[in-house]
């Protein structure tokens, strides 16, 4: 199942859950109405009075359910950070020098650079000795990964990478939106039971009655009983959905890291340590139980568990596993808890501060460099589409190499809210000494203030020296920090970036990619609930925009007009067999694309997959792709919420 299949499956799962929720609500309303009707009949009320009470009870019941669902959903609609904050997690400073946090940040940033998605914000559940983690959010741009302090302390680097790869699979596969929907739906049903209980406690004594003579306590009792029964069955549905996704996430984590030892080691430690994966905070464990890496609480029935049994998960990854090993692990860890940092040192990993993940004595793999045309490699459209939303071991090595190659100062500035805007601005500045830079800095000072202009000017030389393949990865690291600023500042920043891009009278593909990627990421962070919906549009509805996009990519990826024409015709005919041959036009392509990205992003998964394949045809008329062309393709895919890993190693 590739990325686009996962999107279709996620949309189907969401539809099924909504339908089940509707059935549950209708059943609950019907039973509560029946209780009200029986109460009224018992009071010998006339039929018109019975009907009026039933209508009133129906309205109140629906309002309570809708209110509980909407209230919770609105509280969490700001995305992953809101979910993490709701369970008391503390945000991690990406520039922290703490060895455990530094290792976590390095692993996540490497995986982000490898997968082509913004670096998720990181949170820690302090004081939780259990080994656990979860990813939350609506889109990769607003995603947050939360880990327990027990996971940081007890897992070694391979094991922590396996857990993070498991969580990244939830981000890439679109599981997070479904998880947040489950929280909202469950809260709506739960509120019915709580309301009935409160009415019985404070206003529904057996002597109380409504003005129509119907005993309130009968309706309240029905609400309480049915509400908690509804929660019971809703939790069963939630657990069943969660168990299926956990199997898939384990398989994806192994696919990402190309080794099972890390994930198996983490699961074995959960089985061996006394605290396991349980969370001390019962409320948090219940609310996010379906998101967690391991069981957040003890389940009294297997069908109520949100995760497959630990032994089954280990056995699926390591067929040679003997369950009797668990007893030995429990005995060993009862005497001394595992120490992940110490295990890293014994395994030969370099201390934190060196290139993350590099064993002592080894040299980090160099990131690809070279002029345009260097590093060519043959690819085909189907391969690229299959790579979307996934990772390979080569991608992870490439991500680690990019991370190690980033100048430490540039990386530090990009990962702090106070300096990230200046880092992005500096990417678009003309070289020092160029009169155009002075005009650009004046524009920055006018919109964001002199201090921001000075900071950007100080970074101009550092950013100009960055190799081309490091510029967009730097944007991926900086975007979460940009989203931390107020809306007015973000609007001013976007205006500045647009002005810098057109300062010389033209817009390069790189300038266009940076400005639109920042715009898209900030839109996602500002309204993740709306921006995360899976589309259902057709290619015929967006044909003018598709034509412009393919023409632009064909011109950018070709060395002469004839090659561009062939690339354009081949890409267009792949989508529209009836298309007439035409010469690609690149005039006003920016305006045409700006008006069409929403339509392209709203395409149905199957149509989006076909478009990605056509885009590959447009940039690979000669059967190859350069590093620069690969980055253009990745930027265009990112604007359609299709995460594409590096195509070149």
pLDDT tens for each residue of 204-233: 544 444 444 446 777 777 777 877 777 777
Q: Are residues 169 and 268 in the same domain?
A: yes
Q: Are residues 145 and 188 in the same domain?
A: no
pLDDT higher than 70, residue 350 = no
- Asked whether residue 409 is domain-assigned, the answer is no
Q: Are residues 598 and 497 in the same domain?
A: no
49-92 pLDDT per residue, tens: 778 878 888 888 888 888 887 877 777 666 788 888 888 899 99
- Asked whether residue 358 is domain-assigned, the answer is no
pLDDT higher than 70, residue 649 = no
Q: Are residues 7 and 145 in the same domain?
A: no
Given a contact cutoff of 8 angstroms between Cβ atoms, the answer to whether 108 and 119 are in contact is yes
Q: Are residues 497 and 596 in the same domain?
A: no
CATH number assigned to the domain comprising residue 320: 3.30.2010.10
Look at the chain and report how many structural domains it folds into: 4
Rounded distance, CA 336 to CA 84, Å? 30
pLDDT higher than 80, residue 537 = yes
Q: Are residues 441 and 519 in the same domain?
A: yes
Burial letters for 341-374: b for 16+ Cβ neighbours within 10 Å, e otherwise?
bebbeeeebbebeebbbbeeeeebbebbeeeeee
- Asked whether residue 626 is domain-assigned, the answer is yes
Rounded distance, CA 64 to CA 508, Å? 54
Which of 335, 360, 394 is at the close of a domain?
335
- Residue 98's pLDDT band, with cuts at 50, 70 and 90, is very high
275-307 pLDDT per residue, tens: 888 888 877 777 777 788 888 776 555 556 777
Nearest alpha carbon to residue 521 among 148, 140, 63, 81: 140
Which of 470, 491, 526 is at the close of a domain?
526
- Asked whether residue 354 is domain-assigned, the answer is no
- Asked whether residue 372 is domain-assigned, the answer is no
- Asked whether residue 222 is domain-assigned, the answer is yes
Supply the range of the domain harboring residue 239: 3-79+179-204+211-257
Q: Are residues 430 and 566 in the same domain?
A: no
pLDDT higher than 60, residue 361 = no
When mean pLDDT is compared across 351-365, 460-474, 551-565, the lowest value belongs to 351-365
Nearest alpha carbon to residue 625 among 334, 336, 379: 379
136-166 pLDDT per residue, tens: 888 787 889 999 999 999 999 999 999 998 8
104-137 pLDDT per residue, tens: 999 999 988 888 888 899 999 998 999 999 988 8
Does the active-site annotation cover 167?
Answer: yes
User: How many angstroms from the chain centroid is the CA of residue 337?
Assistant: 32
- Asked whether residue 359 is domain-assigned, the answer is no
Q: Are residues 544 and 636 in the same domain?
A: yes
Given a contact cutoff of 8 angstroms between Cβ atoms, the answer to whether 83 and 288 are in contact is yes
Q: Are residues 9 and 144 in the same domain?
A: no
Q: Are residues 501 and 433 in the same domain?
A: yes
Which of 307, 335, 363 is at the close of a domain?
335
- Asked whether residue 138 is domain-assigned, the answer is yes
Query: What global pTM score does this model have?
Result: 0.78
Q: Are residues 573 and 629 in the same domain?
A: yes
Rounded distance, CA 643 to CA 459, Å? 29
Report the share of the chain in percent with pLDDT over 90: 20
Rounded distance, CA 174 to CA 5, Å? 11
From the list 109, 128, 159, 167, the catalytic residue is: 167
Q: Are residues 246 and 265 in the same domain?
A: no
């Amino acid at each position: 199942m590739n990325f686009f299949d996962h999107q279709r499956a996620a949309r189907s799962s969401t539809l099924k859950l909504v339908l089940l929720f509707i059935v549950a609500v209708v059943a609950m309303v019907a039973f509560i109405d029946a209780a009200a009707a029986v109460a009224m009949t018992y009071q010998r009320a006339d039929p018109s009075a019975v009907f009026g009470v039933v209508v009133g009870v129906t309205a109140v019941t629906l309002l309570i359910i809708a209110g509980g669902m909407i209230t919770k959903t609105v509280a969490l609609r700001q995305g992953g950070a809101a979910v993490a904050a709701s369970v008391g997690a503390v945000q991690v400073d990406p520039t922290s020098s703490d060895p455990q946090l530094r290792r976590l940040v390095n692993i996540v940033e490497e995986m982000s650079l490898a997968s082509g998605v913004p670096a998720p914000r990181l949170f820690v559940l302090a004081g939780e000795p259990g080994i656990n983690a979860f990813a939350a959010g609506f889109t990769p741009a607003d995603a947050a990964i939360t880990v327990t302090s027990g996971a940081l302390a007890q897992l070694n680097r391979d094991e922590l990478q396996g857990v993070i790869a498991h969580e990244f699979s939830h981000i890439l596969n679109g599981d997070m939106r479904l998880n947040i929907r489950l929280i909202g739906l469950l809260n709506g049903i739960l509120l019915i039971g709580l309301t009935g209980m409160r009415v019985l406690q404070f206003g529904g004594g057996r002597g109380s009655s409504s003005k129509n003579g119907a005993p309130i306590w009968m309706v309240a009792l029905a609400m309480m009983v049915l509400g908690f029964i509804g929660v019971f069955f809703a939790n069963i549905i939630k657990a069943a959905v969660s168990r299926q996704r956990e199997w898939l996430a384990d398989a994806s984590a192994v696919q990402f890291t190309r080794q099972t030892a890390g994930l198996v080691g983490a699961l074995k430690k959960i089985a061996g340590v006394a605290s396991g994966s349980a969370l001390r905070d019962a409320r948090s464990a219940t609310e996010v139980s379906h998101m967690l890496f391991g069981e957040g609480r003890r389940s009294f029935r297997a069908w109520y568990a949100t995760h497959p049994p630990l032994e089954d998960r280990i056995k699926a990854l390591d067929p040679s596993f003997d369950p009797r090993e668990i007893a030995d692990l429990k005995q060993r860890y009862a005497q001394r808890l595992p120490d992940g940092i110490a295990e890293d040192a014994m395994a030969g990993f370099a201390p934190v501060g060196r290139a993350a993940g590099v064993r002592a004595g080894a040299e980090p793999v160099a990131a690809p460099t070279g002029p345009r045309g260097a590093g060519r490699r043959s690819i085909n459209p189907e391969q690229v589409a299959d790579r979307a939303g996934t990772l390979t071991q080569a991608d992870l090595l490439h991500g680690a190499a990019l991370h190690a190659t980033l100048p430490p100062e540039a990386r530090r500035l990009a990962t702090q809210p106070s300096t990230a805007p200046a880092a992005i601005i500096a990417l678009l500045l003309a070289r020092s000494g160029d009169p155009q830079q002075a005009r650009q800095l004046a524009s920055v000072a006018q919109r964001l203030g002199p201090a921001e202009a000075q900071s950007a000017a100080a970074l101009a030389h550092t950013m100009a020296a960055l190799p081309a393949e490091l510029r967009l990865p730097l944007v991926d690291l900086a975007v979460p920090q940009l989203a931390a600023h107020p809306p007015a500042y973000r609007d001013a920043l976007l205006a500045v970036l647009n002005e810098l891009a057109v300062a010389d009278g033209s817009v390069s593909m790189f300038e266009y990619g940076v400005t639109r990627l920042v715009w898209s990421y900030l839109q996602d962070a500002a309204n993740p609930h709306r921006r995360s919906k899976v589309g259902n549009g057709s290619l015929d509805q967006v044909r003018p925009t598709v034509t412009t996009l393919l023409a632009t990519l064909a011109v950018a990826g070709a060395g002469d007009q004839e090659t561009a024409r062939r690339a354009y015709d081949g890409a267009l005919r792949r989508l529209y067999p009836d298309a007439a041959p035409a010469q690609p036009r690149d005039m006003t392509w920016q305006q045409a694309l700006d008006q069409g990205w929403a339509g392209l992003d709203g395409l149905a998964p199957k149509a989006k997959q076909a478009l990605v394949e056509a885009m590959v045809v447009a940039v690979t008329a000669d059967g190859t792709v350069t590093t620069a062309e690969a980055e253009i393709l990745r930027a265009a895919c990112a604007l359609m919420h299709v995460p594409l890993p590096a195509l070149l190693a």
